[in-house]
Structure 1
């Protein structure tokens, strides 16, 4: 079901997030399910940054992995990506956490 994780709008938000986190190179990376899921994990794992992003209702149970997402999980991830992608201050707060995952995200972008 993860094939529905990346749509045109989600891809645009992920590109915006990557270009904020990794200026000059992030916007050129291909966006796929794994990249989108890792971006979500960076956003989800950062409790130090507060924003309206955290006000999305959390689905009960585990989200899963990029390959085994439920429809509820996909909807939740898209909502979080959309809210984060619209909040530059929030993205800048997350930049430190994102820099720690840079290599992993870039590798997933290129299918490695």
Structure 2
């Protein structure tokens, strides 16, 4: 792995700067970046994608006492009110993914 370029792509249901929850995407990116560093790789970028709480797919999501939707968005939140996050609808994430691809390509070209 030494000398290879790499990037971190993280999907997390926790929105960026959501004060009541841990910064899961930052933790994931840091873990991957430090792994690459330990392996002698070149970290060339990262992508953060806002994912979905698993409860949006569960048939008990709105009634469950353990609902992550209610934990994250309040007691009146429902699957419908929270909705589904899509990568394609997140211009910042799409642009970061394109940039990561360009960074990897440029790194590889520089080593030819």
What's the TM-score bracket when you normalise by the shorter of the two chains?
Answer: under 0.3
Asked which structure has the greater CA Rg, the reply is 2
More strand by share: 2
Higher relative contact order (CA 8 A, sep 6+): 1
For normalisation by structure 2, the TM-score amounts to 0.26
More helix by share: 1
For normalisation by structure 1, the TM-score amounts to 0.26
